[in-house]
Amino acid sequence: MRIWSRWLGVHQNRQLKKQLKQLLGFTPRHLRLYETALSHRSITEHEKDSNERLEYLGDAVLGAIVGDFLYHKYPGRSEGYLTEMRSKMVNRQQLNDIAIKMGLRKLVHYDKYNSLLKISHIFGNALEALVGAIYLDRGYDKARQFVYQSIIAPYMDMETLEHTEINHKNKLYGWANKYGHQLTFELLEEEMKGARKIFTVAAIIDGKIVSTGKAYNKKDAGQIAAKLALEKLGLIESSPTE
């Protein structure tokens, strides 16, 4: 039994290395870093075994890489413009959509029975954690190469991003004002999920609930509700689910 378990572990490691090589374009040196990057806290026994610390690091590394990219791409643009563009490139929904398109949905380990996670940004968070793992495993230059070649080049059209609205609540308010509709956002519920509180916020148009959003803070829940409302109204395209 021990021999079989050991063989199974080796087989799984080989399979993960193969999948990561296809995704990253290189073979990881320290596989454990990437296993952690792909592990959501919903399936880890201890918080330190989840990808949250790597997500924190990856967020900082990604921000620096994108900031450097924008600084050199737009030499005549103001600080405000660069800051806004960086926000559009690394906002949670954008990264989550990219992560799904990259195939991270199949690699991330999470509690698939938790319905809330299916509408959260765990795949985008895992992508940030992956950047953190690359940084620790292969250094800043390799992380920058991955971000340029695997995130920015294939998934970010800069001209389109310049005209993209990332604040869905503002966009929905603009539509409501333009066409004379009454729009409000209402907190429907607060509940505890494990050790964390979950908020449910509704987007209400002319007294009718059009959509609801759930998240670990009210701001994100409101943005999710607004985004879903915009999708129902046909004002934006639906996010990818596969």
Catalytic residue positions? Answer: 59, 128
Q: Give me the long-range contacts of 28-37 (CB less than 8 A, separation at least 24).
A: 28/133, 28/137, 29/137, 29/138, 30/136, 30/137, 33/133, 33/136, 33/137, 34/130, 34/133, 34/137, 36/129, 36/133, 37/126, 37/129, 37/130, 37/132, 37/133
Which residue bears the tokens 């954008």? 94
d(C-alpha 142, C-alpha 157), whole Å: 22
Q: What are phi and psi of 187, to 5 degrees?
A: -75, 115
For 152-193, give the DSSP string. IHHH--HHHHHT----HHHHHHHHHHHHT--EEEEEEEEEEE
Contact present, 216 and 196 (Cβ < 8 Å): yes
Coil vs helix vs strand at 78: coil
d(C-alpha 130, C-alpha 156), whole Å: 18
Integer CA distances (angstroms), 145 to 34, 122, 134, in order: 17, 23, 10
Contact present, 191 and 185 (Cβ < 8 Å): no
